[in-house]
Amino acid sequence: MLSGGGSARSYGVMGNAFYDFHGLLAGIVPYVGVGAGYMWHEHENAGVGVARSNGSDARFAYQAIAGVAFPIGEVPGLAITAEYRYMATLEQSIPNNFSPFNRSNVTPQNHSVFLGIRYAFGVETVTPVAAPEPARTFLVFFDWDRDNLTDRARQIIADAAANSRRVQSTRIEVSGHADRSGSPQYNQGLSLRRANNVAAELVRLGVPRNEIVIQAFGESRPLVPTADGVREQQNRRVEIVLR
């Protein structure tokens, strides 16, 4: 009966490149990789009976990798991995004491399965940014040829003031308008008086004056287009826009 013994060892260096398939499957990240390097294979009195090999050889080595990563949401960058690797070298020649040429030709190959963890540095938690609220508009209407505030107008202005604090607006546009009854010059002044009165009420309700921009457009921007000289209540207004 022949007995065997000795040892065979492999050493090497390998550089690998990986590619992750993000978004392909929910909750996991498949990936593949390839590697190239150099491998030393060493025999020390390895063999059966009197046939033994001693020595080493080194050759180009390569590997193929496939795996899946399971990201841990609570720790950005950290993932559990399950991975398969196939590694081989070009044919190596090891000295021996029994072949005609005193050399053994071997092609080391290795199949491996790994479970592990990996950590990607520099990965930060992505916090969804809420879309800014759209500008809110409040309409204050006036009686014909008047710039004083009615009770209903004061209610609307109070609502605008309360909302300006809730949405933390930094700019409040107060724009006065008039209908087309009367001359353009007169309506321009009337729309400005209306805007000033609305702005003054906002300030009285606690809105800082430096956040208010007052504009007057006269009869140039009607809500309801009309012929010249027509009285139209929806055009006798002040628009409060919270931005």
Compare 81 and 135 and report the one with higher pLDDT: 81
162-172 per-position pLDDT tens digit: 998 888 777 99
pLDDT above 70: residue 148: yes
Q: Is residue 125 part of a domain?
A: no
Quote the domain boundaries for residue 75: 4-119
Is there a domain that residue 64 lies in? yes
Residues in the chain: 243
Q: Can you tell me the mean pLDDT for 22-31? A: 83
Which residue is it, tokens 């209540």?
233
> 73 and 33, same structural domain?
yes
**Measured CA distances, 174 to 74, 121, 192, 195, 214 (Å):** 47, 50, 10, 6, 5
Predicted TM-score (pTM) of the model is 0.49
Pair (90, 146) in one structural domain: no
Q: Are residues 173 and 115 in the same domain?
A: no
Contact (Cβ atoms closer than 8 angstroms) between residue 179 and residue 235 = yes
Confidence of residue 2 (pLDDT cuts 50, 70, 90): very low
The pair of three-digit structure tokens given for residue 192, joined into one six-digit string: 């400005």
Is 3's pLDDT higher than 60?
Answer: no
Q: Has residue 127 been placed in a domain?
A: no
CATH of residue 168's domain is: 3.30.1330.60
> What is the percentage of the chain residues whose pLDDT exceeds 70?
84
Residue with tokens 């499957």: 25
Task: Specify whether 83 is located in the same domain as 169.
Answer: no
Mean pLDDT value of segment 217-228: 95
- Predicted local confidence at residue 66, as pLDDT: 92
pLDDT for the residue numbered 41: 72
Residue 97 included in any domain: yes
Check whether residue 167 and residue 77 sit in a common domain. Answer: no
The domain boundary residue, chosen from 76, 91, 119: 119
* Domain match, 37 and 112 both: yes
Residue 126 domain-assigned?
no
Selection from 102, 112, 105, 95 nearest residue 14 by Cα:
112
Phi, psi dihedrals of residue 147, rounded to the nearest 5°: -125, 5
Question: Is the residue at 114 inside a domain?
Answer: yes
Cα–Cα distance measured from residue 119 to residue 96, given in angstroms and rounded to the nearest whole number: 45
Mapped onto helix, strand or coil, the DSSP state of residue 142 is coil
Say which residue the tokens 């508009």 belong to.
137
pLDDT band at 125 (very low <50, low <70, confident <90, very high): low
Domain total for the chain? 2
